């Protein structure tokens, strides 16, 4: 079941990036909510917030090692509850989605551009990034509340 969830999330990520490449790569951004949300094609050759630009081999190796470690740990421990497993599925799917981009394009396709009415222009991100962030926050809450094991929910 976990493989299906991960694959579904990766497919959603890749389909969204395909449409962005087709619609926005050679055109202007698409405003969805004036002064707040637009779709804007960006080639991110770094990590979150554009740090460590042009270190693709480093990101490919680190991402592969982390995904492998999480998968192996899940198989060996096998004591996480459904919510904790889902949070790990989100993290793995997000990492895989961006890894696919790095392997295909040598950059990550970002396109969700949020600007808080001129107060703060958030860095452009994608669906895979949302998966990683939501999965990480959910897992952090479960760990803080000590609710990640099977018998604790």
| Cα atoms found within 13 Å of the Cα of residue 62, Cβ hemisphere only | 8
Catalytic residue among 110, 113, 121, 151: 110
Catalytic annotation on 129? yes
SS (H, E, C) the chain: CHHHHHHHHHHHHHHHHHHHHHHHCCCCCEEEECCCEEEEEEEECCCHHHCCCCCHHHHHHHHHHHHHHHHHHHHHHCCECHHHHHHHHHHHHHHHHHHHHHHHHCCEEEEEEEECCCCCECCCECHHHHHHHHHHHHHHHHHHCCCCEHHHC
Annotated active-site residue in 13, 129, 146, 151:
129
Active site residue ranges: 110, 129
């Amino acid at each position: 079941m976990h493989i299906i969830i991960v694959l579904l999330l990766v497919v959603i990520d890749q389909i969204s990036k395909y449409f962005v490449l087709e619609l926005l790569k050679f055109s202007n951004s698409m405003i969805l909510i004036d002064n707040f949300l637009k779709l804007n094609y960006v080639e991110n050759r770094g990590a979150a917030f554009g740090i460590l630009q042009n270190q693709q081999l480093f990101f490919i190796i680190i991402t592969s090692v982390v995904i492998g470690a999480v998968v192996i740990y899940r198989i060996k421990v096998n004591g996480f509850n459904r919510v904790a497993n889902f949070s790990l599925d989100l993290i793995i799917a997000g990492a895989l989605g961006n890894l696919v981009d790095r392997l295909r394009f040598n950059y990550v396709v970002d396109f969700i551009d949020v600007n808080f009415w001129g107060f703060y222009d958030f860095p452009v991100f994608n669906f895979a990034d949302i998966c990683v962030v939501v999965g990480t926050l959910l897992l952090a809450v479960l760990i803080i509340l000590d609710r990640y094991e099977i018998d604790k929910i």
